Structure 1
Amino acid sequence: MESFFIAATGQNIGKTTTCLGLVSGLKQRVKTVGFMKPVGQEHVETETGEHVDKDVVLFKHYFKLKFPYEAMSPVLFPKGFTRDFLDKRVDHEDMVQKIHKGFAVIQATSQVTVIEGTGHTGVGSIVNLNNAQVAKLLGLPMILIASGGLGSSIDQLSLNFANCEKYQVRVAGVILNRVLEEKRDMILNYVSLALKRWNIPLLGAIPYSEFLNMPSMRDFESLFQTELLCGNEFALRHFEHMRIAASSVEVYRTTLAPHQLIITPAGREDIILATLTRFWDLKISHPEEDLHTGLILTGKMPPKDSLVQQMKTAKIPVIYVPLSSFAVMKMINNYSLKIRNEDLEKIHEAVKIVENHIDFETLEKALRKSNP
């Protein structure tokens, strides 16, 4: 099977999630699968002090890949990189050589390599290293990930097809992500028809997953740049529902249910105590069960130490954010959720969903056609 380049039609389409399932599925079909992200933007510092794209760290750890970081993540675009490039403080040829070298290292011991791009095909154009250009550089076909709608996805695909054509990069196939179940048959039918005009196959349609879109308390730590006050044991807890508790405590008691994230002012001691009471009532009556709740406490004043201690005893994950409850909810609604390296439950779910909805036989045929 030939190696291939993955790009998306826009930001936050689910490219990394899709790559997780692709790599997992390919590992069941061939002995060695490589992974690389030639150009990265969001990076982390490893235990050895290397600056590496965060998705590369995720793939290396989860799939236990042996490739060196410098090969898997050869080029980074840190803050201020565009200015440095335009001021001629960055050598374009040096970046090209790093990408070539990294790909050669991984390809040398891999039967197939999945190369993840950054955003849509045009990202990186300012430094002459957009996704289409990098795919051309490496001589690879492109697979595009699009949102699971109809009209908007076709419009975005058309723009990205044009950019690939400009750089003479063949699009080997399309994968739709976050397809609503009730629209699945209709979407598959019409998107397949639309793609026929370009002679491009639909390789899969990944369903929308509520769970994959549930943030954890660790995500909220990242979003609000704070740390848990307590409940670190459940930092990766996910919630089915989020609610602002601003009503009377009587109303709150009647609507409090398991798997809820509660957003309430830190001064609402009645709400906090009602949550603790429900927690212990459940524990006493059903010791094996858990309320599976979490709290984001808001407002100008932090919670009292005595309340924090009670929540610590109950091991309820809690963070404090010095904003209004409505400002907090707005930030959550605008938050672009990313899969975290340590969130194994979510990674397993992503792999399972994607792997089960990709047609790997059609993928292999499409890649053979791209690389005669």
Structure 2
Amino acid sequence: MQRWGVPLLGCIPDRPFLGCPALADLERLFDTRLIGGGRHRFRHYRVPDINLVTTSLKRFLENVRQKPSRTLYVSHVTRDDIILGFLGEYTRLKRRGVPFESALILCGRENKYDVCPQILDILKDPELADVPIMIAKMSTHDAMGAMRTLTPKLNIGDNHRVEIAVEHYEPHIDFELLLERTSSPVPLSEEEVMEAATRSSTLGAAAETAAAAAVASTEAVLS
């Protein structure tokens, strides 16, 4: 870079957390909204902690109690047993005063699979309003693939991620050099700014006039 005269403004090491999707990122990805647990919208999940449920209810409950508390489970919408088991585990921990940080994504191709109406009524029960669950109108295979290739973006409402990003980036960027390279060496006066704006407007009008004349000339030839 020195050979080419390109200044090095900074070298930022990787920070895995910044690549962890929040539930809000998944809402945008799947074009959906959380059925419950809206206040946990900016809770983040590591990609390795996204778990596709393909086991029996017994094995699923064993996994829930063994895996990290903040695990994101993906299941098919027709797995009523898994949905009820997930809600049951939430209720069990809530009674004990233990935080429940897992979330559940229910997948099913649109117009082919859907959540059982009775199960949907249970999900909307006020007593379960704090359980993070969302529905993705696609197959579990497509949903898993989409999440693994997702690059989360900074969201102004995600204060935690923004704060960590600022703390992480700031020490590794030469802001003085950045400002030096991006600032005008001689600040423009108000008159110069107005003159530049007028010149730009005049050139734009001239271009429009020339384009209109060209169109009119072409139409005359064709007629």
Does TM, normalized by the shorter one, top 0.5?
yes
TM, length-normalised to structure 1:
0.43
Task: Report the equivalent of 1:271.
Answer: 82
Task: Report the equivalent of 2:163.
Answer: 348
Question: Which one has the largest radius of gyration?
Answer: 2
1:1-372 correspondence runs (5 A): 195-240=1-46, 241-256=49-64, 257-285=68-96, 287=97, 289-299=98-108, 300-303=113-116, 304-309=119-124, 313=128, 315-363=130-178, 367=181, 371=185
State how far apart, in whole Å, the 2-side matches of 1:368 and 1:330 are.
Answer: 40
Q: Which amino acid aligns with 2:141?
A: F
Distance 1:296 1:311, change over 3 A: farther
Task: Report the equivalent of 2:207.
Answer: none
CA deviation map 1:221-257 (0-9, x unaligned): 2111122212212122211321111122232223223
State how far apart, in whole Å, the 2-side matches of 1:340 and 1:260 are.
Answer: 22
Superposed CA RMSD in Å reads: 2.6
8 Å Cα contact 2:18/2:165 also seen in 1 = yes
Q: Which amino acid aligns with 1:302?
A: V
Q: Which has the higher helix share?
A: 2
8 Å Cα contact 2:36/2:129 also seen in 1 = no
Distance 1:341 1:361, change over 3 A: closer
CA deviation map 1:349-368 (0-9, x unaligned): 1111111222335546x639
Distance 1:203 1:276, change over 3 A: same
Distance 1:310 1:272, change over 3 A: farther
Give the number of aligned pairs. Answer: 175
| Secondary structure of 1:207's aligned partner | coil
CA deviation map 1:241-287 (0-9, x unaligned): 211111222322232231111110122122222222332333333x2
Q: Which amino acid aligns with 1:357?
A: H
Task: Report the equivalent of 2:219.
Answer: none
Q: Which has the higher strand share?
A: 1
State how far apart, in whole Å, the 2-side matches of 1:269 and 1:368 are.
Answer: 58
State how far apart, in whole Å, the 2-side matches of 1:281 and 1:230 are.
Answer: 17
8 Å Cα contact 1:297/1:318 also seen in 2 = yes
| Secondary structure of 1:200's aligned partner | coil
| Percent pairwise identity | 29
8 Å Cα contact 2:51/2:74 also seen in 1 = yes
8 Å Cα contact 1:276/1:311 also seen in 2 = no
User: Which structure is higher in RCO with an 8 Å CA cutoff and minimum separation 6?
Assistant: 2
State how far apart, in whole Å, the 2-side matches of 1:233 and 1:298 are.
Answer: 22
Q: Which amino acid aligns with 1:281?
A: R
Task: Report the equivalent of 1:61.
Answer: none
TM, length-normalised to structure 2:
0.68
State how far apart, in whole Å, the 2-side matches of 1:320 and 1:297 are.
Answer: 5
State how far apart, in whole Å, the 1-side matches of 2:182 and 2:18 are.
Answer: 32
| Secondary structure of 1:315's aligned partner | coil
Q: Which amino acid aligns with 1:211?
A: F
CA deviation map 1:157-184 (0-9, x unaligned): xxxxxxxxxxxxxxxxxxxxxxxxxxxx
Unmatched 5+ stretches in structure 2: 187-223
